[in-house]
Each structure stands twice: as structure tokens, then as C-alpha cells.
Amino acid sequence: MPQASPRGTYLVIAEALRAEIQQREGAGTLPSEADMMRSHGVGRNTIRRALKVLEADGLVESVPGIGWRLAGGGDRRSLAERMTGVIAEDCLSVGDAYPSEAKLCARFGASRTAVRRVLAQMEGNGLLTTVHGKGRTVRALPTPTTRP
């Protein structure tokens, strides 16, 4: 593994794991945390932080007694990419209401914390705007290169 900042090592590992996951076909379990520690040359906490990043993006999930496995079905896009895709999938235009946090949590099977994090990113990128008491509305349509 290349030398990286101790504070960002888990992000480098998360991206490496993301690349491995995208190459996989079908569902399955990931290697054990111990195997990942050996292959990346880092400690357990670093591996767990990397896995938490992927879990927040909806790519993996922890299953008690089994370990980490690929989450859900066939959609391997990150939560951010899927939530940005809602605008096109639901044929929303500028000024239309964006779905609520509760609806997004149910739609993507994600935690409210993960949904809120992506919503904040989308607002920061200028895709959404929030009017207190009214909810979120589409402020701009995403371009093919826009990523939250």
C-alpha cells in the first residue's frame, strides 16, 4: 500500500474496496476483517472505518455471525449517485418537491444519518434547496458529470 496520511488511510482503503466490489459479479461476502488487515497492512480500526464509509454509501452491510457482505441487489452505485438519480428517475424539474428523508430512507434502505449527509452534499452542490417548513426542492438539474 502506498504511504498515505494516517488520517486518510481508511479513505484510500475504502476506495480500493469499492473498486474490488464493482468488479465482483453477484452478491457475496467480503473477506474477513483479519484478511483485509493483512492484505492492506493496517489495523482493524482502519478497516472498520473504511467499511463504515462503504456501508454509509449502501454498498456493504454487516451481518452478525457472517461478517460483511455486499448490500442489497444489483444496484452498485453509491447512495449519493442513487439519490442524485432520483431527479431523473422521478422526472423532477427545477422547482419540484424532492422526496422527504423518510421516503428516501425507505426507498434506499439507508439510515437517516446517511441520507442527511448526502442531502447536505446535494445542497452544497446546488442541486437542492431547503425552505424550512416546506421541504426540499430541486434547484438545478444534475449534469452527467455532477456527483454529490
CA nearest neighbour of 73 among 61, 84, 85 = 61
Please give, one letter per residue, the 3-state secondary structure of 95-122.
CCECCCHHHHHHHHCCCHHHHHHHHHHH
pLDDT(106) > 50: yes
Among residues 118, 45, 128, 38, the alpha carbon closest in space to that of 77 is found at 118
Look-up: residue for cell 467480503? 30
Helix (H, G, I), strand (E, B) or coil at 50: helix
> Does residue 45 have a pLDDT over 60?
yes
Percent of the chain residues topping a pLDDT of 70: 83
Range from 68-77, 101-110, 118-127, 137-146 carrying the lowest mean pLDDT: 68-77
71-85, 86-100, 110-124, range with the lowest pLDDT: 71-85
pLDDT at site 74: 52
Higher pLDDT, 19 or 72: 19
CB 65 within 8 A of CB 26: no
pLDDT of residue 146: 47
Which residues, in sequence order, are bridge partners of residue 86? none
Most confident residue range from 16-20, 60-64, 106-110: 16-20
Cα of first residue to Cα of last residue in the chain, in angstroms, is 28
The pLDDT of residue 131 is above 60: yes
Buried b (16+ CB within 10 A) or exposed e, 59-85: bbeeeeeeebebbeeeebebbbbbbbe
**What is the residue whose three cell numbers read 442531502?**
119
Tell me which DSSP letter residue 32 carries. P
Q: Over 70: is that where the pLDDT of 6 sits?
A: no
DSSP state of 29: B
Instruction: Pick the more confident residue, 67 or 119.
Output: 119
